[in-house]
Amino acid sequence: MFFRQVIGQEGIKRSLLQSVNDGRVSHAQLFAGPDGSGNLPLALAYAQYVSCLNKQENDSCGECPSCRKYHKLIHPDLHFVFPVVKTPKFKDPVSDNFLEEWRATVTKNAYFDLDQWFGLIGAENAQGLIYSNESEEIIRKLNLKSFEAEFKVMIIWMPEKMHVACANKLLKMIEEPPNKTLFLLVAENEEDLIVTIRSRCQLVKFPPIDDVSMKEALVNVPEADGANVDTIVHLARGNFRKALELLQPDEVSAFNLESFKELMRSSYGRKFLDLFTWSESMSNIGREKQKSFLLYGMKLLRENFVSNLKNSELVFMDDNEADFSKRFAPFINERNIIQLSELFEEAFNHIAMNGNPRIIFTDVAFKTTKLIRK
């Protein structure tokens, strides 16, 4: 990955380049930014630049043996850690068990999210984690001598998904790493990372991608041909992954919208048998998909409430959502928006804590029935 391939974030690029050229590479850095902001692509570009044998002023050369191996993500001094799931094949999984899928995903498009990753590795009811035994693999790899590069680089994607036991085992290594070791932690919600690890890392805060850079990037996407790019940029809100999704809506987005519509229509019509059927269906889709739906529901409730203000600049819905909301928005008002949002948030937290999904979604369905008519 090259710096020039990373969308926007020009100030952060300059700062990272300067740190390498001045010989001030901090051994542990936390790249924290919202989904689609490009913190993973920039971590990859930074790692490649650090290891490049013929560094240019503003980017790695792309031609030396190190860059060629980084391009394929097979450099022997580049290591990855990311959330995985337990499977019949891997009872105690570590990242290396899914490294082939990881390389294929990142090389195809480094702007992806946790739901997409879990979908690729077949996560169903399991909730992905960086398990405690991963720490032993990290310690083992980083205690080896560098094979080729000056630095051994460990990129940990979504460290907030790290099991507490794993995080605690890593504290000492992050605080006092072997010589010429570079930790790059790539997080969306750094507040969910344990304080003792956050305090040992240099924070690099990523903002959403600016509109100008987003538009320039989308112009070069084949799927954007004929699309209203300005509208896509507005709806994406600095999230390039979301922009790509808007150009080519995936099955998850369609499923979430249809499930939300079914819930609200059945709740308003007090169709209790349909609500029982809906709850049963939602309880069987797997925990990651359940959490995805609940987050989507919170977002759509907010958009419908704001759409009543009749200010299109404040509303971020695609055409299908907007079409549904023309009739639905009046039912989301100041009398129920807070309670509905809290209902979805509480359900999300209970699902994340491995609560019984059948009970949780039945509760959501019947409380929505009461609130939607307020």
183/276 same-domain check: no
pLDDT tens, residue by residue, 116-169 = 888 888 765 567 889 888 888 888 888 888 788 888 999 999 999 988 888 888
Return the closest-CA partner of residue 129 out of 158, 90, 99, 169: 158
194/266 same-domain check: no
Measure the CA dihedral 145/151/155/156, to 10°.
60
Measured CA to CA, the distance from residue 253 to residue 240 in angstroms comes to 16
Q: CATH number of the domain at 12, please.
A: 3.40.50.300
Model-wide pTM > 0.85 = no
78/202 same-domain check: yes
Mean pLDDT of 282-302: 89
199/229 same-domain check: no
Mean pLDDT of 232-257: 84
Q: Supply the pLDDT for residue 235.
A: 84
195/289 same-domain check: no
187/291 same-domain check: no
173/234 same-domain check: no
117/220 same-domain check: no
Return the closest-CA partner of residue 368 out of 256, 258, 274, 264: 264
pLDDT tens, residue by residue, 256-279 = 999 999 999 999 999 999 999 999
Q: Supply the pLDDT for residue 176.
A: 82
Query: Residue 298 in 3-state DSSP?
Result: helix
- Say which residue the tokens 């169903």 belong to: 124
221/83 same-domain check: no
Q: Supply the pLDDT for residue 279.
A: 95
Statement: residue 248 has pLDDT above 80 = no
- Say which residue the tokens 């919600």 belong to: 189
Mean pLDDT of 292-297: 91
19/156 same-domain check: yes
23/170 same-domain check: yes
Q: Which of 246, 262, 296 is where one domain is finished?
A: 246
Return the percentage of the chain with pLDDT > 70, whole number: 98
61/174 same-domain check: yes
Return the closest-CA partner of residue 130 out of 176, 82, 87: 82
Domain hosting 126: range is: 3-207
pLDDT tens, residue by residue, 5-54 = 999 999 999 999 999 998 888 889 999 999 999 999 999 999 999 999 99
pLDDT tens, residue by residue, 83-109 = 998 877 888 889 999 999 999 999 999
Statement: residue 206 has pLDDT above 70 = yes
* Mean pLDDT for the chain overall: 89
If one counts the domains in the chain, the total is 3
